[in-house]
Amino acid sequence: MIFTTWFYGVFLTGTVLLYWLLPKGSRSYFLLVASFVFLAYSFPLHVLLLLVVSFLVFWAAKKLEKRHSFLAASVLFVISILAYYKYQALLADLSDKMVVWIPGIPVFKLPQILVPLGISFFTFKLLHYLIESYRGNLQQGSYRQFLLYIFFFPILSSGPIERWPRFLRQNRELRGFKWEYLTEGCQRLLIGFFKKLVIADTAAIYATNLHSAGLGSNAYWIAAYAYTIQIYFDFSGYSDIAIGSARLFGYKIMENFNNPYFKRNISLFWKNWHISLTSWFTEYVFKPLGGSRVSFGRIILNTLVVMALTGLWHGAALHFIVWGLYHGVGLIILRIYNKTIGNKFPVGWRESRTLTVASILLTFHFVVIGWVFFAADFSQSIYVIRKMFFLI
């Protein structure tokens, strides 16, 4: 069920009305059923599968008790579900490229697989719950509360990746209806719909030229700028709709964007772009690898690993990995700059308006070029970037 369809509007309106008309004790049960209906509308067979996976994770989280091997097996199980549905095509393609030079080995025949709605967000919430249970950092609620957290339909398909403690606390503290739920929720929904349907969809018309051949440098720059606008207003628009939808039920979901295109370096960009995902990778990948507490060489490796995984999370294709590595290189260059000469300039000069504006423009255009890798396949991306800089 897509957020921008009239059917979602009818579904959301009816669900909100019935939710607040029901007795307090019945609301979470009703909201859970509504979330199952939301998923089953497009993916009926996957409801049972995801229920089984959720039950196994909920059971495993109660049995961890600092057992490393049990945690590793549980995490591997959840990741395998994501890999099977989302990355099978990529693995098959890489396998075919490896065996094409070996006579007698058949090409892998990929079965037709329907990817469950929001599988990436679904699995990352499960991993968060498992890891924090192992660390002893969260209070485990009832199975019903856990299922509502995992399947909560406003954030099921496009995030943000909400954290369990915040969700559980709100679930327990919610009382009666407040007008602020309606006003704040509707305001956020209108902003989200405007971002997506007016700005993003208009910019998409011009961004399609990134997939065309034979255009000039100016045409590709315009397309790259258009895609930069499209992807931000598309993604942040969906986040606004999700946050607004959740607010109608009394829940306040974490923010996902904070003016990322107006930050003065690529590190600040990532701290303000898809905040829930960036913080997830920081907490559960970068820090366990050693974070910034290890040698400089390891920091570089950790950064590249995290950003490659960030790219892979967005899509099962080589150009997404390249996009992630591109940003990883940018983060490494920034770290080297700060480590060597960045802090040697006078504070007044570093904080001057001129340098701030120049830094924002440089960071913005670094991001713009990176979006070319995100939007088009690898060969087309290289072609477009070379044309943009008059290299062909």
Average pLDDT of the chain to the nearest whole number: 91
Q: What is the pLDDT of residue 360?
A: 97
Q: What is the per-residue pLDDT for 209?
A: 97
Percent over 70 (pLDDT), the chain: 93
What are the CA-CA distances from residue 300 to residues 101, 188, 272, 366 (Å)?
34, 39, 21, 19
pLDDT band per the 50, 70, 90 thresholds, residue 105: low
Query: How far is residue 15's CA from residue 237's CA, in Å, rounded to a whole number?
Result: 21
d(CA 306, CA 304): 6
Q: What is the DSSP annotation of 72-117? A: HHHHHHHHHHHHHHHSHHHHHHHHHHHHTTSTTPPPP-PPP-PPPT
Q: Is 48 exposed, middle or buried (0-12, 13-18, 19+ CB in 10 A)?
A: exposed
pLDDT in the model for residue 343: 76
pLDDT at 61: 92
Tens digits of per-residue pLDDT, 53-103?
A: 999 999 999 888 777 888 999 999 999 999 888 887 676 666 555 555 565
Distance CA 43, CA 385 (A): 39
pLDDT at residue number 344: 73
Any idea where the domains of the chain sit in the sequence? 6-97+105-174, 177-256, 258-392
- Joined tokens for residue 316: 């099962």
pLDDT for 1 equals: 61
Residue 175 binned pLDDT confidence (cut-offs 50, 70, 90)? confident
Mean pLDDT on 112-139:
89
User: Rounded CA gap, 16 and 5, in Å?
Assistant: 17
**pLDDT in the model for residue 141:** 87
Predicted confidence band at 43 (pLDDT cuts at 50, 70, 90)? confident
- Return the beta strands (E) in 3-98 as ranges: none
- Long-range pairs, 143-147, Cβ under 8 A, ≥24: 143/55, 143/58, 144/28, 144/29, 144/32, 145/28, 145/171, 146/54, 146/58, 147/32, 147/51, 147/54
Least confident of 9-18, 97-106, 122-131, 297-306: 97-106
Q: Give this prediction's pTM.
A: 0.93
The residue among 252, 255, 221, 215 whose CA lies nearest residue 239 is: 255
pLDDT on residue 111: 60
Catalogue the active-site residues. Answer: 314
Is omega for the bond preceding 23 within 30 degrees of 0, making it cis? no
Minimum mean pLDDT among 165-174, 275-284, 380-389: which range?
165-174
CB 199 within 8 A of CB 233: yes
pLDDT of residue 63: 85
Name the 3-class secondary structure at 258. coil
Please state the rounded mean pLDDT for residues 225-252.
97
Residue 60 and residue 130 in contact, taking contact as beta carbons nearer than 8 Å: yes
**206 membership: H or E segment, kind and range:** helix 201-207
Average pLDDT over residues 349-359: 87
State phi, psi for 142 to the nearest 5 degrees.
Answer: -75, 165
